[in-house]
Amino acid sequence: MPKVMIIDDEKDLVYLLKIVFEKEGFEVSEAFDGNEAYEKLSAVDNMDDIPDVILLDVMMPEMDGYTLQAKLQENEKFNKIPIIILTAKGQMRDLFELSSNVFAFVEKPFEPKNLLEMAKDAVNSRK
């Protein structure tokens, strides 16, 4: 069962995506800001419990998506996890230009089924 972590401060969006992904057989974990996400990821002891893909919003309180993505890229335990960046601002793409762990960019609003297919592609890219 593939694992996805959804990180976004919009609770309704996280709930919607959780339903869509669970319906497709994904194991879903969630966080509502970068700090919470990093704490949850850092607490994982078993490498099999690390997400296969991360859906990451850019604009969040506490720690934004750009900062979290950079921290994940620097950490050997997490730097191979493909990240799909969710953003309302298309120009944010430039900030992630040289990031090896960014799989794709999706501008809000988006079609959840398209995001699901993209996440499946990201999981398959790791095999």
User: Mind listing the domains of the chain with CATH numbers?
Assistant: 3-125 (3.40.50.2300)
Kindly state the percentage of the chain with pLDDT values over 70: 91
Give the span between the Cα atoms of 86 and 66, in whole angstroms.
11
| pTM for the structure as a whole | 0.93
| Residue 36: pLDDT band with limits 50, 70, 90 | very high
C-alpha triplet 12, 123, 111: angle, nearest 5°: 35
Cα 97 to the center of its chain, rounded Å: 17
